[in-house]
Amino acid sequence: MIRPTTIISVNWRSQTACHFDGYYDQARDKERTKFLLPDDSDLGAQLNSIDKETGVKEIRSFFNGIMAGRELLLCFFCLGPTHSIFSIPCVQITDSPYVAHSEIILYRSGYEEFKRAGASPKFFRFLHSEGRLENAVSVDIEKRRVYIDLEEELVYSVNTQYAGNTVGLKKLALRLGINRADQENWLAEHMFVMGARGPNDRITYFTGAFPSACGKTSTSMLPGQTIVGDDIAYFRKINGQVRTVNVEKGIFGIIQDVNPTDDPLIYQALTKSCEVIFSNVLYDSNLKPFWLGMGCEYPAAGINHSGKWKKGDKDAAGSEIPVSHKNARYCLHIKDLDNMDPNMDDPDGVPVGGLIYGGRDSDTCVPVEQAYNWSEGIIIKGATLESETTAATLGAEGVRKFNLMSNLDFVSIPLGRYIQNNLDFADGVVDPPAVFSVNYFLKDKNGKYLNGMMDKLVWILWAELRVNGDVEALKTPTGFIPQYEDLTPLFKEKLNKSYTQQDYINQFTIRIPELKAKFDRIEKIYQEQVSDTPAILFDAFNQVRQRLQTARQNHGDYISPFDLY
């Protein structure tokens, strides 16, 4: 198979760049991403690790002589706003222009931050090499390694170009951030930060953790609202208040299905004259990019992640090669989005009004629900987060995949301690943020979605009203849900849509059997796989079961929300 080269500064727009990873280097290598641990350390069975001495010896042997004859790029960055209590200086050493260019877009310049920190700053370090190349693509995939040294706050990455393995300041730095936050009593989370507009242009800031394909980007980019960041947030307690920052200043997102209808703000930025890096899309003869779900007709031929491509081409395994890779990406500055929040770079961050945990299931959780309090929010909403697979993507429909706070792949401390840190974070906070769950994927018995694609705007704006005490709510065994009379004006005003009582019943019926099964399923995971699970989690699960049983005795298995008035 012909392997493609990297194209820089193509002519479709003057500031566009395109990058191609190798055909078999298109995702995070979870198996070979490992923590380097000393003999006396143990992160638990859930987290992938290797003996530090063995791992360092191996990966340094791969690095030996690898930069010979190449240009080394030494880059200084800052995670979080500069001149801030949130600031973490970082150094990236790489031979990849793609990695350096991506991080220049995604992160704030850190050179002045190093000068401010003095002679011995505590900083994160990242060492990367593409390795041996053919046609500008890494070829020694069997020697691909991503090793993380928490003691040294150092990440090694070699023989790979895919951003999830190489753009160190993103998810690799998140692992370092979680470890440092554990030591310093703050939080590093896999969350967006957005501003929701309430009455009289009031802005309430929300953070949100959503597993892949659960609506994270579309929620952070809701029309009429503002965006601070779409991926990673740091949290600190400042003067008795929870405040947060976007670690980044850019967005590195999946481009599939970005089109004028579903993601108008992102689509507008991608198609206007601003700096963008596209990766693993298709280029036609005019060097114009195309991607899956773009909403237009595709060319019959071009260049993509497989090399020279034409419709109907197949790979070595006999699979048809799509127009672009389903994991194709874009990288752009948030400043080029029309909805950028004006406080994005505030060194004090923004105050957090609410946390949102977004899962995906077809038959259990209501579209939006508020936890009783911070503790129940962390346990009942965050620590039970699941994402339901579909036959179209993974070949097995309806399989629930557990993903603790949407951070399971990146936690770098024992999972029980991670949960306890989140619980303890509210200590000393005068008014802890409200915690919500959302689920946009409920279906009826015929498999039809009960939520419209834009209904999420109403659920978020209802949460904004709740945070500010503007509306009452109905108490369920697992939290508070909206009253019908508060949703109808939101649907009419924001979506010009009638919202019937039957819509309300269909969406907000409390499903006792399915909820009970969920908590049984999640509890088993903690019992069998997380040895240091805090006892408070099991206590909370038992309390929920008791409330579910009482509700069942009073109302039956399926409870209309009108029965709760």
| Alpha helices in 272-394, H assignment, sequence order | 374-376, 391-394
How far is Cα 488 from Cα 504, in angstroms, rounded to an integer?
9
Active-site residue, from 75, 78, 214, 331: 214
Q: How far, CA to CA in Å, does 92 sit from each of 78, 110, 181, 410? A: 11, 11, 21, 20
How far is Cα 138 from Cα 131, in angstroms, rounded to an integer?
6
Residue labelled with tokens 């031979």: 95
Query: What kind and span of H or E run contains 338?
Result: none
190 with 338: CB under 8 angstroms?
no
User: Of 468, 487, 488, 491, which Cα lies nearest the Cα of 198?
Assistant: 468
Phi and psi at residue 335, in whole multiples of 5°?
A: -60, -20
Q: What is the 3-state secondary structure (H, E, C) of 482-543?
A: ECHHHHHHHHHHHHCCCCCHHHHHHHHCEEHHHHHHHHHHHHHHHHHHCCCCCHHHHHHHHH
383 with 355: CB under 8 angstroms?
no
Torsion 428-121-55-28 (CA) sign: positive
305 with 325: CB under 8 angstroms?
yes
214 is catalytic: yes
Residue labelled with tokens 């896999």: 190
Tell me the HSE value of 235 on the side-chain side, using a 13 A CA sphere. 31
Angle at 363 between CA 358 and CA 365, to 5 degrees: 40
- Torsion, Cα of 327, 330, 333, 337 (10° steps): -100
DSSP 207-271: EEE--TTSSHHHHHT-TTSEEEESS-EEEEEETTEEEEEES-SEEEEE-TT--TTT-HHHHHHHT
Q: Catalytic residue numbers? A: 214
